[in-house]
Amino acid sequence: MTTTDDYISTAQVRAARALLGWTQQELANRAKVAPSTIADFERGKRIPVSNNLDAIRAALESNGIAFDQVARWLDPNLQDLSPNCLETESRSVL
């Protein structure tokens, strides 16, 4: 289940797709989610349910993408982040 520690932002997903050269459709296929899930998330229309967000993250990570914890708090789509996230250290690429 996705927690605020596992959250990935819309910008991170778009950047990860760009690095991999994937379309939204390809990410949807690899994550086994509906293409509208990817499109709506990237447009900021909605945040996917926990299992879909986990699948998106897993599809990207299994293809070499690593996510930076600190960048998550910058995404305005996540309303419930605590101020403690500002104290976490960066771990990796996005």
User: pLDDT value at position 75?
Assistant: 53
Residue tagged 């990207």 (tokens): 60
**Model pTM score:** 0.70
What confidence category does residue 69 fall into, taking pLDDT thresholds of 50, 70 and 90? low
pLDDT in tens, 5-52: 567 889 999 999 999 999 999 999 999 999 999 999 999 999 999 999
Identify the H or E element spanning 29. helix 24-31
Task: Give mean pLDDT, residues 65-94.
Answer: 50
Helix or strand or coil: residue 70?
Answer: helix
- Cα gap 7→9, rounded to integer Å: 7
Please give the pLDDT value at position 79.
46
Q: Cα separation of 42 and 6, whole Å?
A: 17
> In sequence order, what are the residues at sequence separation of 6 or more whose Cβ sits closer than 8 angstroms to the Cβ of residue 8?
53, 56, 57, 60, 67, 72, 94
Taken in order of first residue, the domains within the chain and their CATH numbers are 10-87 (1.10.260.40)
* Stronger pLDDT, 62 or 76, i.e. the higher one: 62
